[in-house]
Amino acid sequence: MIAFVLRRLAQTFAVLGVVALIAFALFNYTGDPIAFMVGQDATLEDRARLRQELGLDRPFYVQFARFVGNAVQGDFGVSLRQGRKVSVLLAERLPATLELSLAAAILALAVGIPAGVYTALRRHGVVAHALLAASLVGVSLPTFLIGILLILLFAVQLGWLPSFGRGDTVALGGWTTGLLTASGLKSLILPSITLALFQMTLIMRLVRAEMLEVLRTDYIRFARARGLTDRSIHFGHALKNTLVPVITITGLQLGSIIAFAIITETVFQWPGMGLLFIQAVNFADVPVMAAYLCFIAVVFVVINLAVDLLYYAVDPRLRIERGAAH
């Protein structure tokens, strides 16, 4: 157990190290940072002095260590485009992305699980077939196209819902939330549906497959023989046993929801971190890119580590297998 945890932790730090190296390389090899900072008429001596003051003449590993040291403290320098601290920019954008991602995750679970259960129980019904066909179309529709079609229908044609931005927000300490105002909630509807749709189809197919698998097992047959009601068999016995993989996959998908939020935020001009990143890419705003890169790497690595350890704790078979292999 301890060896497994240590190995996973070592792997985690290796990944973070590689990502930090990429981010550092971005910083250092995209143009001369001195040229950004001094005027046209700065003399060579001025430049050299500034270079020395900033430590840019030091060896590679010293600079890298300093970069990592700053990054750990959340200091990624100043945005080239907006002239503000990157950490402040990211902190401002974080609530928008998290609220959107959370709403999408809840929506995906709230629709995906019942739909999966339904299609498994009524597997030959017309509605189940229609749902499965719709899920294939849902997988084939790129996220941004879903967003555009939703805007076209609900914002342009019907005029029911706003098509961009977050609506009015309320500041609670350092956190700005759109969940407390009517316009904020209305603005959340279309982006969260767009973001949830893909995960929804994924969860539905997963729950369906797991349910079909579980319904074939002996203990379900035994429960039927005991004369339990369908309701108690389906929800008390079958669904409960399908939920472990569903929870793990959903946990893993939380990271991709935050990643896919980049696309949704661009379509709906949602003022989150993803939109900030895309604008940074388009304007080659390196400090913002590097910071986002590190942020998303940490999110993924933490989620993966948590899921792996959870798996290990929940599934005893994994322990035996690993014990036999090593």
Partner 1 sequence: MTASVSDVVVAGRFASKARAAWDSDLLWSFRRSPVAIVAFAVLVACVAGAVFAPWIAPQHPYDLASLNLLDALAPPAWVSGSKPGFLLGTDDQGRDVLSTILFGARISLFVGIASVALAAAVGIGAGLVAGYAGGRIDATIMRGADVQLSFPAILIALLIDGVARAVLPHESHGEVAIAVLILAIAASNWVQYARTVRGSTMVEKGKEYVQAARVIGISPLGIMRRHLMPNVMGPVLVLATINIATAIVIEATLSFLGVGVPPTQPSLGTLIRIGNDFLFSGEWWITVFPGAALVAIVLAINLLGDWLRDALNPKLR
131 binds partner 1 (CB under 8 A): no
Q: Please choose, out of 43-51, 83-91, 107-115, 147-155, the segment that lies near partner 1 by the rule CB under 8 A.
A: 147-155
For the segment 14-73, give every residue that binds partner 1 (CB under 8 A). Answer: 14-15, 22, 26, 29-30
The whole-angstrom distance between residue 205's C-alpha and the CA centroid of its chain comes to 20
| Interatomic CA distance for residues 122 and 131, integer angstroms | 11
Q: Please choose, out of 36-44, 58-66, 209-217, 248-256, the segment that lies near partner 1 by the rule CB under 8 A.
A: 248-256
Minimum Å gap between C-beta 26 and partner 1 is 6
- Minimum CB distance to partner 1 smaller for 163 or for 176: 163
Binding to partner 1 by CB under 8 A, coded x per residue (else -) over 251-290, reads: -x--xx--xx-xx--xx---------xx--xx-x-x--x-
The whole-angstrom distance between residue 300's C-alpha and the CA centroid of its chain comes to 8
Burial 284-312 (b: 16+ CB within 10 A, else e): ebbbbbbbbbbbbbeebbebbbebbeeeb
Q: Please choose, out of 41-49, 70-78, 151-159, 243-251, the segment that lies near partner 1 by the rule CB under 8 A.
A: 151-159
Minimum Å gap between C-beta 137 and partner 1 is 7
Residues that bind partner 1 (CB under 8 A): 11, 14-15, 22, 26, 29-30, 136-137, 139-145, 148-149, 151-152, 156, 163, 252, 255-256, 259-260, 262-263, 266-267, 277-278, 281-282, 284, 286, 289, 293, 296, 300, 304
